[in-house]
Chain A
Amino acid sequence: MIPYVQSVASQEVPPPYHFPGVTVNAFVWEAHLPRVQAYCDRFFNLGDARDRGFTYGPAPMWPYAILLFIDYPVMISASRTPENIGQEIPYSDRGIVSQREVFISFPVVRLGTTPGGLIANSAVEWALPFIVVGEPMSAVCGREMLGLEKLRANIQIGESEFPGSFRGQVSLPGWATLTSDAMQGMLPFLDVATGPAVPTFRGSPEEHSLWTLFRSRVAQNAIGAISTASDAVETISAGTFPTSMQTVSLKQFRDAAEPGRALYQALVSCRSKYAVIENFQFYKEEDVRISFHLEGSFGETLRFIELPPGNPSDNDKDASNSFRPKAAYRFNANIDFDNMRTLHTFPVDRGPGLPPVAPTSDLTAPWLRPWRGFFGPGRP
Chain B
Amino acid sequence: MTEFIESFATQQLLPPWTARGALTWGFAVRLSRCRIRDYLARYFNGGYPDEAPFYYAPLPGPQFGLLSVAYFPNVASGNLQTASRLGPGETSWDHLTHTEAYLSFPVLRYALSKDNLVTDPVLVWVEPFVFSDNDSVVFSSREIWGSDMYLASMVRELGLPAHQLHFDMGMIGIKNFSPRSMSELLAVLHIRTGGDSPASLAEILKANPDLDAFVKILGGSGAFAGKKPEGVDPSPYAGGVELNNLKQFRDCYDMGAAIYRSIVASKATHTEVDNIVVFDPSHVEIAFMWSDSIAELLTQLFDAEQPTDTGPPPEHFAAAQRTRRLRAKYPNGVPPPPDTFRLPLPTVPNDMDWDMNRVVLKAEFGFSFSSNVHFEVLSTIHTYGLTAA
B96 touches A183 (CB 8 A): yes
- Across the A-B interface, give the 8 residue pairs with the lowest CB-CB distance, nearest first: A84-B256, A149-B9, A95-B181, A158-B341, A136-B151, A9-B129, A184-B96, A95-B174
Interface residues on chain A, number (Cβ under 8 Å): 94
Query: Would you give 11 A-B contacts (Cβ < 8 Å), ordered by A?
Result: A7-B129, A85-B255, A94-B178, A96-B183, A160-B341, A183-B95, A184-B136, A255-B1, A256-B15, A262-B5, A349-B2
CB neighbours (8 Å) of A262 from chain B are: 1-5
CB neighbours (8 Å) of A43 from chain B are: 5, 7
CB neighbours (8 Å) of B180 from chain A are: 95-96
Q: A115 to B380: give the CA distance in the assembly, Å.
A: 43
CB distance from A261 to the nearest CB of B (A): 4
A311 interface residue per 8 A CB criterion: no
B2 contacts which of A92, A178, A301, A348 (Cβ < 8 Å)?
Answer: A348
A180 touches B93 (CB 8 A): yes
CB neighbours (8 Å) of A146 from chain B are: 252
CB distance from A97 to the nearest CB of B (A): 4
| Besides A10-B148, A264-B249, 20 new A-B residue pairs in contact (Cβ under 8 A), listed by A number | A1-B49, A1-B257, A2-B48, A2-B248, A4-B248, A8-B297, A8-B301, A10-B150, A73-B336, A92-B179, A94-B181, A95-B181, A95-B182, A147-B252, A173-B135, A175-B95, A250-B5, A252-B4, A253-B260, A262-B1
CB-CB contacts of A225-253 with B at 8 A, as 1s and 0s?
00000000000000000000000001111
CB neighbours (8 Å) of B42 from chain A are: 5
B134 interface residue per 8 A CB criterion: yes
A156 touches B179 (CB 8 A): no
A257 contacts which of B135, B255, B377 (Cβ < 8 Å)?
Answer: B377
A5 touches B135 (CB 8 A): no
A159 touches B261 (CB 8 A): no
CB neighbours (8 Å) of B97 from chain A are: 183-184
CB-CB contacts of B1-24 with A at 8 A, as 1s and 0s?
111110111111011000000000
CB neighbours (8 Å) of B260 from chain A are: 2, 253, 263-264
CB neighbours (8 Å) of B388 from chain A are: none
**Interface segment out of the listed A26-34, A350-358, A372-380:** A350-358
Interface residues of A in 148-187 (CB under 8 A from B): 149-152, 154, 156-160, 167, 169, 173, 175, 178-184
A256 touches B344 (CB 8 A): no
**Interface segment out of the listed A48-56, A137-145, A280-288, A316-324:** A137-145
A93 touches B179 (CB 8 A): yes
CB neighbours (8 Å) of A160 from chain B are: 341
A98 touches B7 (CB 8 A): no
Q: A139 to B135: give the CA distance in the assembly, Å.
A: 9
Interface residues on chain B, number (Cβ under 8 Å): 99
CB distance from B131 to the nearest CB of A (A): 8
A42 interface residue per 8 A CB criterion: yes
Report the nearest A residue to B296, measured CB to CB: A8
A3 interface residue per 8 A CB criterion: yes
Report the nearest A residue to B153, measured CB to CB: A136
The residues of B with any CB-CB pair to A shorter than 8 Å are: 1-5, 7-12, 14-15, 42-43, 46, 48-49, 74, 79, 81, 83, 85-86, 90-97, 128-129, 131, 134-136, 138-139, 142-146, 148, 150-151, 171-174, 177-183, 246-262, 264, 266, 292-293, 296-297, 300-301, 336, 339-344, 377-380, 383-386
Q: Contacts A84-B254, A183-B95 hold; do A257 and B380 have CB atoms under 8 A apart?
A: yes
Q: A375 to B15: give the CA distance in the assembly, Å.
A: 50
B79 contacts which of A46, A144, A255, A259 (Cβ < 8 Å)?
Answer: A259
CB distance from B44 to the nearest CB of A (A): 10
Q: A167 to B262: give the CA distance in the assembly, Å.
A: 45
Q: A136 to B261: give the CA distance in the assembly, Å.
A: 22
SS class of chain B's interface: helix, strand, loop or mixed?
mixed
A46 contacts which of B5, B142, B340 (Cβ < 8 Å)?
Answer: B5
CB neighbours (8 Å) of B300 from chain A are: 8
A178 touches B144 (CB 8 A): no
Report the nearest A residue to B82, measured CB to CB: A259
A355 touches B173 (CB 8 A): no
Q: A261 to B377: give the CA distance in the assembly, Å.
A: 14
CB distance from A305 to the nearest CB of B (A): 11
CB distance from B341 to the nearest CB of A (A): 4
CB neighbours (8 Å) of A179 from chain B are: 86
Q: A56 to B83: give the CA distance in the assembly, Å.
A: 32
CB neighbours (8 Å) of B14 from chain A are: 259
B1 touches A261 (CB 8 A): yes
CB-CB contacts of A196-232 with B at 8 A, as 1s and 0s?
0000000000000000000000000000000000000
CB neighbours (8 Å) of A354 from chain B are: 383, 386
CB neighbours (8 Å) of B252 from chain A are: 145-147, 251, 268, 270, 340-342
A2 contacts which of B5, B92, B258, B379 (Cβ < 8 Å)?
Answer: B258
CB neighbours (8 Å) of B151 from chain A are: 136, 152
CB neighbours (8 Å) of B131 from chain A are: 9
CB neighbours (8 Å) of A147 from chain B are: 252
A158 contacts which of B5, B43, B90, B342 (Cβ < 8 Å)?
Answer: B342
